[in-house]
Amino acid sequence: MSESPKPRSGRTAHGRRRVRSALALAAMELFAAQGFEATTVDQIADTAGVGRRTFFRYFRSKEDVVFPGHDERLAEVKEHLEAADRSADPLRVLAETAEFVLDMYLAEPEVSLKRFELTRQVSALRDKEIASIDRYQRVFARYLRDRCAGEPSGELRAAVAAAAVVATHNHVLRQWLRSGGELDARAELRRALEQVTAALAGQWCAAEPESVVVGAVVRTTAPAGVVLKQVEDALRDLPR
Amino acid sequence: MSESPKPRSGRTAHGRRRVRSALALAAMELFAAQGFEATTVDQIADTAGVGRRTFFRYFRSKEDVVFPGHDERLAEVKEHLEAADRSADPLRVLAETAEFVLDMYLAEPEVSLKRFELTRQVSALRDKEIASIDRYQRVFARYLRDRCAGEPSGELRAAVAAAAVVATHNHVLRQWLRSGGELDARAELRRALEQVTAALAGQWCAAEPESVVVGAVVRTTAPAGVVLKQVEDALRDLPR
């Protein structure tokens, strides 16, 4: 039996990811060696063994290459929040969204770890990373502001809760990076977010009330089966 | 009676502040008109009507001019936190420190308002501002990590509480900027921080216990004056 032919780089999802990672790693090596400003797109493409046009098929700019996927992920995060169930606990929705953001780092561990090393050395890149994280925080805050609208101090509460969720995400991400990618980051994030959202819940931004008053007058001497039947009937009449 | 002579610019505290503000405003006008990267220190100095050497007497770099005083203030914040009373509530200490940071913006309203306008237009400058704010957040988190050391999830709690205090500061700062400098930002920050630290208190990072057991056995039938005297005596023996 002959082996199936290898897919050509860039033509399959796997190939595309490989080219993108190669470009990102090449860029970060050059940034570390000669600085961010001094590095050109041509040099990055050369080092990764592809052409300038290929670079621009993957990244919009030199800035974009430092955090591959951030723009797309941010757009997905916005869509996700807009589509989220309005009766769901807003902090719960944000917690799920934070897991989704973390997944982006976990999907390309080599790039994430290299970048972590680099951002500790090159303060300009660290600043870019911080700005990138801040974009998520602003999207999170906007979502909460919308959900908390009308609550007393809604805007303040939204800003604080968004900051708390993002700080939790970053704390777990840092721990994962420090562990060299060994930590079970998904489980750790879930645990930490449960702790943080539990502390904030109620005080910060409540889910829209889903409370339903079931009016069913029953004689207390009626057998349990009859009571249950009457409550069931009452529930059946409620709008779905 | 003749008027007292005007102080020469740059020789008095007032004159120094005037030159510094002129440089900062000139820089921000140039950044808005032609971009941050394309603007040189010489152009900034020219526009402010001073020489290149004068520029470097006030600012270390072109980056520094965007947020005048940030480096010094950050150093002062670190000193303030290191010197803070170890028995004081750490969130209370951070709240005071946040007020101290806000004062920096309030001291030069013209520069702060101009910068706000500019950072909304020039994303590179906005990124620099965000990075600058993040430095405070990291210093705040480090302080809390140190104060919460040994508590369960101490590092997570420190990260979240620091983010909450900084988000509160930024929320009030933004409101003040949007009001064109009209809002009583100090009062508003105090009110907002009271609300946020009250919500976090106890759950996040407790002050070191200052509890003192006063052992003074008194007969319940003794007159109030005698009881008071005995308690006073007991307190006098406690280490200061």
pLDDT at B195 over 70: yes
Which amino acid, one-letter code, is at A55? F
**Radius of gyration for chain A, computed over Cα atoms and rounded to the nearest angstrom:** 25
Using an 8 Å CB-CB cutoff, list chain B residues near A130: 127, 130-131, 134
Of the candidate ranges A5-9, B40-44, B136-140, the one whose mean pLDDT is the lowest: A5-9
pLDDT given for residue B110 in this prediction: 86
User: In angstroms, how far is CA A191 from the centroid of its own chain?
Assistant: 16
pLDDT band at A103 (very low <50, low <70, confident <90, very high): very high
Q: Which CATH superfamily is domain B67-200 in?
A: Tetracycline Repressor, domain 2 (1.10.357.10)
The residues spanned by each domain of chain B are 13-65, 67-200, 212-240
By percentage, how much of chain B surpasses pLDDT 90?
A: 44
Closest-CA residue of chain B to A188: B156
Using an 8 Å CB-CB cutoff, list chain B residues near A127: 127-128, 130-131
Residues 6+ apart with CB under 8 A from A42: A52
- Mutate which of B66, B126, B156 to disrupt the A interface (most A C-beta within 10 Å)? B156
- Mutate which of A135, A160, A197 to disrupt the B interface (most B C-beta within 10 Å)? A160
pLDDT at B89 over 60: yes
In the predicted model, what is the mean pLDDT of residues A10-16? 73
**Residue-wise pLDDT tens digits, A35-49:** 888 999 999 999 999
Helices (H), chain B: 13-34, 41-48, 52-58, 62-66, 70-83, 90-107, 109-121, 123-147, 154-178, 185-200, 224-236
Of the candidate ranges A83-97, A167-181, B147-161, the one whose mean pLDDT is the lowest: B147-161
- Are the beta carbons of B192 and A156 separated by less than 8 Å? yes
Q: Is the CB of residue B68 less than 8 Å from the CB of residue B24?
A: yes
**Model-level ipTM above the cut of 0.90:** no
In the predicted model, what is the mean pLDDT of residues A140-152? 89
- Are the beta carbons of A156 and B195 separated by less than 8 Å? yes
- Mutate which of A62, A94, A156 to disrupt the B interface (most B C-beta within 10 Å)? A156
Minimal Cβ distance to A127: which of B127, B199, B204 = B127
Average pLDDT along chain B: 80
A192 touches chain B (CB under 8 A): yes
pLDDT at B199 over 90: no
Using an 8 Å CB-CB cutoff, list chain B residues near A156: 168, 171, 192, 195-196
- Are the beta carbons of B171 and A160 separated by less than 8 Å? yes
Q: In angstroms, rounded to a whole number, what is the distance separating the alpha carbons of residues B96 and A147? A: 31
Please give the full DSSP string across A178-232, using - where no structure is assigned. HTTT-S-HHHHHHHHHHHHHHHHTTTS-PPPP----------TTS-HHHHHHHHH
Q: Which of A128-132, B37-41, B173-177 has the highest mean predicted lDDT (pLDDT)?
A: B173-177
CA distance A30 to chain B (A): 21
Helices (H), chain A: 13-34, 41-48, 52-58, 62-66, 70-83, 90-107, 109-121, 123-148, 154-178, 185-200, 224-236
B201 touches chain A (CB under 8 A): no
Q: In angstroms, rounded to a whole number, what is the distance separating the alpha carbons of residues B170 and B126? A: 13
In the predicted model, what is the mean pLDDT of residues B73-80? 93
pLDDT band at A225 (very low <50, low <70, confident <90, very high): low
Looking at per-residue pLDDT, the higher value among A136 and B129 belongs to A136
Closest-CA residue of chain A to B170: A159
Minimal Cβ distance to A164: which of B127, B130, B160 = B160
pLDDT given for residue A204 in this prediction: 56
pLDDT at B205 over 60: no
* Structure tokens belonging to residue B26: 């000139």
Closest-CA residue of chain A to B173: A156
pLDDT given for residue A183 in this prediction: 96
In the predicted model, what is the mean pLDDT of residues A188-213? 68
- Which residue from A77, A202, A185, A186 is spatially nearest to A140, judged by alpha carbons? A77
Of the candidate ranges A196-205, B112-121, B231-240, the one whose mean pLDDT is the lowest: B231-240
B156 touches chain A (CB under 8 A): yes
pLDDT given for residue A1 in this prediction: 43
- Are the beta carbons of B192 and A153 separated by less than 8 Å? yes
Using an 8 Å CB-CB cutoff, list chain A residues near B153: 192, 195
B32 touches chain A (CB under 8 A): no
pLDDT given for residue A234 in this prediction: 44
pLDDT given for residue A12 in this prediction: 80
Separation in Å, CA B214 to CA B224, B232, B236, B239 = 17, 10, 10, 12
- Are the beta carbons of B171 and A153 separated by less than 8 Å? no
Overall fold of domain B13-65: Arc Repressor Mutant, subunit A (1.10.10)
Cβ count within 10 A of residue B209: 7
B127 touches chain A (CB under 8 A): yes
Closest-CA residue of chain B to A128: B127
* Structure tokens belonging to residue A111: 């790039």
B40 touches chain A (CB under 8 A): no
Q: How many A/B residue pairs have CB atoms within 8 Å? A: 68
pLDDT at B126 over 90: no
Residues 6+ apart with CB under 8 A from A150: none
